[in-house]
Amino acid sequence: MMSTPPKPFIVVAMFMYGGALMLCGVVAYMMAPPGANAATAVAVPAVCAVLMDVCAIMSAGLKKNRKVGMIGIHAGLVLSLVFAVAFGLRGASVAQGVSDYRAASDRYLSAVRSGDIANDTPVVREAFMSQQVVDGRKAPVQDKSYLRNALYAMTGLSVVAFLVFLAFRPKPDRRGVADEPEVQADPES
């Protein structure tokens, strides 16, 4: 019985990265507050994971079809870097919203403590929060810390994945490449 040879580490790393992205999305979905649009917290990482899995499958065929394998490896490198930038930029945007939410929430709590808001209910809180503006920006009605944390986690994962893919990519094959000509000593010297 013949066993299949082990896959290159980069293929395993791509599958693991895709799984880690999916895990981040599921955790963000589970941590989302009621009423939040948490479906995108799963959908975006799922699409990214599928793209990485396609790259891993292509990379796994490196020995059979070098061109397809190398496309898979290099696409995985590029995608992990693109994901890192995209998740990081979106995370920074969400972090600003979290800061604005907390400032508006502090205003609400101050109004409740001072007696300006006598009936502290979820409906009253949502109505108050929907009218809040912080530094010229409309404050979010819900805390999106769960999303910020997931985006920053996926940013870090993507940077690490890029570095791992870069370090473990197959080295260029020297077959078929002519060696550099040897430099001959000058006969006149």
Does 183 map to a domain? no
Distance from C-alpha of 40 to C-alpha of 22, rounded to nearest angstrom: 12
Does 51 map to a domain? yes
- Of 187 and 171, which is predicted with more confidence? 171
Does 17 map to a domain? yes
50-88 pLDDT, tens digit per residue, is 999 999 999 988 788 888 888 999 999 999 999 999 999
Does 156 map to a domain? yes
H or E segment to which residue 3 belongs = none
* Residue 154 contacts residue 47 (beta carbons within 8 Å): no
Q: How many domains does the chain have?
A: 1
- E-assigned strand segments in the chain: 133-134, 137-138
pLDDT at 175 over 70: no
| 101 alpha-carbon distance from chain centroid | 24
pLDDT at 171 over 50: yes
Does 34 map to a domain? yes
Does 55 map to a domain? yes
Does 159 map to a domain? yes
Does 129 map to a domain? no
pLDDT band at 189 (very low <50, low <70, confident <90, very high): low
Q: What pLDDT is stored for residue 179 in this prediction? A: 47
* Residue 152 contacts residue 27 (beta carbons within 8 Å): no
Q: How confident is the prediction for the chain on average, in pLDDT? A: 85
Domain of 15? 9-95+145-168
